[in-house]
Amino acid sequence: MIGQIYPQVTHSYRFELNKDMNFSSAHYIPDARAGACARIHGHTYFLNLTIAGNELDDLGFLVNFSELKKLIHARFDHQLLNELPEVEGLIPSTEKMAELIYTIVQAYLDGLDNQPICLQVFLRETPTSYVVYRGAL
């Protein structure tokens, strides 16, 4: 994504892949301490996923970029996050959404024969606010 600078993860995997995407969602933080954010409002989230591994599949892919987009965009785009079953019991803060996205992506990667791993989820909620979540190396 033009203009974005991502924090780098130090690792020794032979391949690193990054996938950028946007999704537009509404949410609210159900607590008066969140002020205006306690009311339903929307964001165009910007997401960068960093995936690494040593082996490619028979297509020469570490993981299919399109499958990564489907996993997240199809699930969260044009949704009220608080109402989604995946978000049940969670406050959809940027931090908790980054962690949830990591869990969804890593569960998908665990099903692939070449065993890539998700190193980093970079989730930008507003032009001035973002979170980085890292899986255990």
Annotated binding site for Zn(2+): 27, 41, 43
The residues facing 18 across adjacent strands are 50
Residue 120's Cβ-count burial label (10 Å; 0-12, 13-18, 19+) is buried
Which pair of tokens denotes residue 99? 């962690």
- Does position 10 interact with ligand LPXRUNBV (CB under 6 A)? The reply is no
Q: Is 88 a catalytic residue?
A: no
The residues facing 50 across adjacent strands are 18, 120
Binding mask 94-113 for ligand LPXRUNBV (x = CB under 6 A): xx------------------
Binding mask 24-63 for ligand LPXRUNBV (x = CB under 6 A): -----x----x--x-----x--------------------
Catalytic residue chosen out of the listed positions 16, 37, 73, 86: 37
Integer Cα distance of 94 and 45 in angstroms: 9
